[in-house]
Structure 1
Amino acid sequence: MLTAVPVPAVLRVTPGVATGALLLAPLAALPLGAVVGAILWGGAQTTVPALAVAVVALGVLALGTRALHLDGLSDVADGLTASYDRERSLAVMKSGTAGPAGVVAIVLVLGAQAAALATFVGDVRSAVVAGAAVCASRAALWITCATGVPPARPDGLGSTFTGRVPGWWTLLGWAGLAAAATLVHPWRGPLAVGLAALVVILLVGRAVRRFGGVTGDVYGAAIELALLTLLVALAGAWT
């Protein structure tokens, strides 16, 4: 669900399996974070423009997830702009096609991510921070799937994973990320984590009001927006 890295098939997703997958989401993204960091560091050793290196890194990241999260971002944007009718919005999100709002959302988010990520093309520390941001962005699932957040549909990905993360884990997990971010910068690090959490909370609140709950598409949109927030807020924080 989180990467294209092949693993043994899980034939039955029990509540325990679903919860474990969500809690370990940032760790599951470690291979992707490592690849992104390697590309940024390697690109810094060449004369390739930093923005071009960042675009390549984001392209590889998209391949590493089969663009699943970007698809969610597109569908959520289309659903929010298609209609104020809940069922109509959910139908648009489930159709699988990208409308104008979805395309614009992807262009803007990827463009902003690339611009911010270009500032991480440099030394090893910069690359490590960028890779860590990729992993940390997956903690968005600790909010979208927290206890008390309802699924928008009785079927689909949302019904399987929504509400599986204990509230105490969500709070302690994000607090732990904020504490770890002090290693990047004593105040900008925790601020970046706090802003990312706030963005995800606002998205979840909007989804609950408009769709009646969250879906798998909301998961993907939350991850992409969390990554964007972290990259922008942390850009150049250690210079």
Structure 2
Amino acid sequence: MSADSGSADGWRLAAGTLTRIPAGAISQVTRPIARTAMLVGSVVVVPVALVAGLVGRAAVLLGAPALVGGLLVVGIVAQLSRSIHWDGLADTADGLGSSWDRDRALDIMRTGDVGPMGAGTLVVVLGLQAASYGALLAKPLGWLIVAALVAASRAALVLGCLRAVPAARPEGLGQAVAGSVPWYGAAGVWLVWAAVLSGVAVLSGTGWWAGAVAAAGGPGAAGALLWWCVRRLGGITGDVLGATVEAAATGLAVLAAVAW
């Protein structure tokens, strides 16, 4: 496989996994393809994020309460990404919250059933996101702020796929992408998003520091959850990756609402 075709397959893998955008099938997920997919994951979500931000802003302009606008953002993002990160968050919460050993916790996550820990976590996490997005939508260029935050949250994937982070089991999405991203690639992705958020802050009439503060919430929240999952489960799974995305989204949104 040529380097060009591998890169194209990486983009297809990212779009097909993280969105409902038709992207075509990938015959085999190699390490270069996985690396590309994780590095560009936050980029392929930009169209989804823009649609969600614009719809939320339109609702607020039409007189809907801010929370309604925030809920629309959360719901549209979920619909256009098949709610895969919600599923990962719920399963991960159930596994981490169980009193069983590592293997049993992984079995609980694999079943796909949502228990009380998972359901409660979804309510709290998605509620925090919706309330924060709603507050931001009322700001100048609020739709753009929200869109940038949603897209940036997908950069959590590069943290979960750092070379120092193992897979929790020898099969599944986690195994296919684990260890595929070098530290400098992950650092570069987050620095780019920190710059984007700082630029959006300036455009919206706020100091650049607001974007930098918000950007810190993404890797902070995702990194904390990732550390817990590695200690408790021995590494990442596809569910853990989804959970880190939602953790990053929440950290970014809450700190942005405070900073803006």
TM range (shorter): over 0.9
Partner of residue 45, structure 1: 61
Deviations 1:161-195 (A, max 9, x none): 11101111112222232233322142232122122
Q: Which moved more, 1:12-21 or 1:209-218?
A: 12-21
- TM-score if structure 1 supplies the norm length? 0.95
Mapping for residues 1-239 of structure 1, pairs under 5 Å: 1-122=17-138, 125-183=141-199, 184=201, 185-235=207-257, 237-238=259-260
Q: How does the TM-score come out when normalised to structure 2?
A: 0.87
145-154 or 76-85, larger mean C-alpha shift: 76-85
Whether contact under 8 Å (2:148, 2:197) holds in the other structure is no
More divergent stretch after superposition (43-52 vs 19-28)? 43-52
Secondary structure of 1:6's aligned partner:
coil
Q: Which runs of 4+ in 1 moved over 3 A?
A: none
> What code does the residue aligned with 1:45 have?
L
Tell me the distance in 2 between the aligned counterparts of 1:178 and 1:62: 24
Instruction: Tell me how far apart the structure 1 counterparts of residues 76 and 195 of structure 2 sit (CA, whole Å).
Output: 29
Contiguous gaps of at least 5 residues in structure 1: none
1:7 positional shift? 1.4
Structure 2 unaligned spans of 5+: 1-16, 202-206
Q: Distance in 2 between matches of 1:223 and 1:233?
A: 16
Amino acid at match of 1:207: C
- Work out the percentage of aligned pairs sharing the same amino acid: 37
Give the total of aligned pairs.
238
Measure the CA separation in 2 of the matches of 1:91 and 1:36.
34
RCO greater where, 1 or 2, for CA within 8 Å and sep 6 or more? Answer: 1
Query: 1:35 corresponds to which letter in structure 2?
Result: V
CA distance in 2, matches of 1:237, 1:198: 16
Task: Report the aligned-residue RMSD.
Answer: 1.4
Aligned-partner residue type, residue 15 of structure 1:
R
